[in-house]
A = this chain, B = another copy of it.
Amino acid sequence: MMANPIIRKLEQFTHLSAADRAMLDRAAATQVRKFAPGEDIIAEGEEPREVNLILSGWGCRYKQLEDGRRQIMAFSLPGDLCDLNIFILRAMDHSVGALTGLTVAQLPRELFDDMTIRHPRITQALWWEALVNAAIQREWTVNIGQRNALERVGHLLCELFVRLQPIGLASADSCEFPITQADLAAATGLSVVHVNRTLQELRHAGLIVLRGKHLTIPDLAALMRASLFNPNYLHLDHIGRHLDAVE
């Protein structure tokens, strides 16, 4: 198995000690569950009892309106946590579902409490993660509100690609891309048909190669330019900035 994705992810922000890493490895080994594509990890209205950590596969946060319209609000990639709110809020105001086959570690509350007390560096890295997630959510608002179809889809591809790299799921210019055009449509607020046409436009412009669940971005800088993508909101400029003094 690949290196624990949450470790790779948090180490973007800080350098973890051996004890921190051991703790996270232990966490990732408890209560592993699998979900099939389309299954819900947790549904709107439910009260989560543990924190879910994605180990492999892609999931999403989504809401479904009464009349069936469906919006994906966030993609959950390996190393992502869901339901951090269980400590404070009561019921889920949205659902989390599996887009691909998914492996999830379900961390009991106590393990989390323990972590907060004994591993302040992890705690701070989780804060960083939460703030970055909020920033991503804001950027989605801009993306859907202001950008046209081409920019919107391009922007999303850039974001996913940049998020996949640090967790070891993307090479210099390509990655697995296991979701459907319907998923992209639900995430961008476009129709499936128009996402299809937009992808073709991106292909014909030479900005992407997307075939059979595999995405290549020959010139990331060009795609970023075409999509008005500015990675500042992912706050990746932090390595070694915090907590490094002490080991």
Return chain B residues, CB-CB under 8 Å to A93: 135, 138-139, 232-233, 235
Contact residue among B45, B94, B146 (Cβ-Cβ distance under 8 Å from A189): B146
B residues in contact with A142, CB < 8 Å? 63, 65, 71, 73
Chain A 158-189 interface mask (CB, 8 Å, partner B; 1/0): 00000000000000000000000000000011
Taken together as a complex, chains A and B put the C-alpha atoms of A188 and B142 apart, in Å, by: 10
Question: Once the chains bind, are B69 and A146 in contact (CB under 8 Å)?
Answer: yes
Number of copies: 2
**Please, what's the 1-or-0 string for A114-137, where 1 marks a CB less than 8 Å from any CB in chain B?**
000000000010011011111101
B-contacting residues, A59-94, CB 8 Å: 61, 63, 65-67, 69-71, 73-74, 85, 87-91, 93-94
Contact B124 A88 (CB under 8 A): yes
Interface residue from B87, B131, B138 paired with A61 (Cβ < 8 Å): B138
The 8 Å CB contact of A140, one of B67, B135, B141, B237, is: B141
Check B146 against A71 for contact (C-beta < 8 Å).
yes
B145 pairs with A89, CB closer than 8 A: no
